Structure 1
Amino acid sequence: MQILLALIFGAVVGLAAHFVLPHREVRGVALAPVTGAAAAGVSWTLLTWVGIGFDSPVPWIVSIVAPAVATLVLLPIVSRVRIHADADLRARSGI
Structure 2
Amino acid sequence: MYILLALIAACSLSVALHFLLPQRQLRGVAVTPAVATATTAAVYTIMQWAGVVEGDVWLWVVSIGAGLALSTASTLVLTAQRTRRDALEKQALGI
**TM-score normalised over the length of structure 2:** 0.91
Residue 34 of structure 1 corresponds to 34
Decide whether the 8 Å contact of 2:39 with 2:67 is kept in 1: yes
Deviation at 1:63, TM superposition (A): 2.8
Q: Which runs of 5+ in 1 are unaligned?
A: none
Task: Find the aligned partners of 2:44 and 2:64 in 1 and give their Cα distance.
Answer: 10
Instruction: Find the counterpart in structure 1 of residue 72 from structure 2.
Output: 72
**Counterparts in 2 of 1:51-70, with a 5 A limit?**
51-70=51-70
Q: Match for 2:63: what amino acid?
A: S
Give CA deviations for 1:34-76 in whole Å, capped at 9, x if unaligned: 0110111111011001011112111111232112211221111
The alignment of Structure 1 onto Structure 2 pairs a total of residues equal to 95
Give matches, 1:8-27, under 5 Å. 8-27=8-27
| Partner residue in 1 for 2:86 | 86
CA distance in 2, matches of 1:60, 1:49: 14
Name the residue aligned to 1:4.
4
Provide the identity percentage.
Answer: 34
Contact 2:44 2:59 in 1 (8 A): yes
The CA deviation at 1:82 is 0.2
CA contact (8 A) 1:9 1:40 kept: no
Give the aligned CA root-mean-square deviation in angstroms: 1.1
Q: Which runs of 4+ in 1 moved over 4 A?
A: none
Structure 2 unaligned segments of length 5 or more: list them. Answer: none
